Amino acid sequence: MAQNCLKCLKYSMCVVNFLCFICGTAGFGFGVFMMMNSKVSSLIPSLSSLNIANMLFITGIIMTCVSFLGFLGALKENRCLLFTFFILLFILMLVELTAAFLLLLYESKIDTFLQRDLTDSLEKSRESANGGNSTMSMGDWDIIQTTFQCCGVHNSSDWKDKVPASCCSKTQCDINQPGCYNKLKAWFEENFLATGVAVIVLCIIEVLGMCFSVTLFCHISQSGLSYK
């Protein structure tokens, strides 16, 4: 009976890690695609390297590597790979919890920083549209303003005397549209619960992965199987 449970555990780990490997590969590929075809990073110049494309790229690589270790360690019953898999999952969980804690702790400072950076990027985009030396493109702001039906950081007056066409709908140009900062903030607040649930579920999966790997590791150690 115990042997059947351990076999079930082993192959369950293989299946789950294989699915995570596929998801990681898809995220990696989508990240590369976005890096080549999207430029939304200039909305926050100070964090231009931490745009969605790069985050997907990095997350995809991490998921692919960690899940590959878990899959191979379970399949080959290799204690070294299982131990490495456990350590990596533990580190990832600590990083996620630390990041969540810091975001909650410095929420007001992050809020002020984002407002300042969005205002800075808008000014550079306005200079670029007026033929200035700035290399900032209007395309990023056009995408955000069209998607969220907003204008400027706080309102259309941020653009001064040259309001872009993306502030207008197909039928009319309403200069009284709300600012993009408030619209983006409202969107994040609406999806805060879903994000929190996703983080909790991810942590639970990581804890289960660590428990399974430790159980399989101890069984291999007691049985004297595979690599020392």
pLDDT at 226: 45
In a domain, 126, yes or no: no
Q: Look at residues 9, 86, 79, 80 and name the one whose alpha carbon lies nearest to residue 223.
A: 79
Give the model confidence (pLDDT) of 32-86 as tens digits.
887 777 655 556 666 666 667 778 888 889 989 999 999 998 888 888 999 999 9
Gyration radius of the chain over CA positions: 24
The answer to whether residues 107 and 19 belong to one domain is no
The answer to whether residues 108 and 59 belong to one domain is no
pLDDT at 90: 92
Identity of the amino acid at 57: F
Q: Using DSSP, state whether 14 is helix, strand or coil.
A: helix
The answer to whether residues 5 and 108 belong to one domain is no
Residue 198 banded pLDDT, cuts 50, 70, 90? confident
Q: Which domain holds residue 206?
A: 93-121+141-227
pLDDT at 67: 92
pLDDT at 39: 56
Give the model confidence (pLDDT) of 96-144 as tens digits.
888 888 888 888 888 888 888 888 888 877 776 665 555 555 667 777 8
Which structure tokens are listed for 20? 């995570």
The answer to whether residues 113 and 215 belong to one domain is yes
In a domain, 131, yes or no: no
The answer to whether residues 105 and 183 belong to one domain is yes
Contacts of 148 (CB under 8 A, 6+ apart): 180, 183, 184, 187
Mean pLDDT of 169-196: 76
Q: Last residue of some domain: 19, 47, 76? A: 76
The answer to whether residues 102 and 215 belong to one domain is yes
The answer to whether residues 72 and 97 belong to one domain is no
In a domain, 128, yes or no: no
Sole residue written with tokens 């996620």: 96
Contacts of 164 (CB under 8 A, 6+ apart): 129, 138, 141, 142, 145
How many CB atoms lie under 10 A from the CB of residue 40?
A: 16
Which structure tokens are listed for 81? 């790979």
Mean pLDDT of 181-210: 84
The answer to whether residues 101 and 200 belong to one domain is yes
Sole residue written with tokens 């706080």: 154
C-beta separation of 69 from 84 below 8 A? yes
Q: Look at residues 170, 172, 177 and name the one whose alpha carbon lies nearest to residue 154.
A: 177
CA 67 vs. chain centroid, Å, equals 18
In a domain, 164, yes or no: yes
The answer to whether residues 67 and 101 belong to one domain is no
Number of domains in the chain: 2
In a domain, 35, yes or no: yes
pLDDT at 220: 80
The answer to whether residues 32 and 115 belong to one domain is no
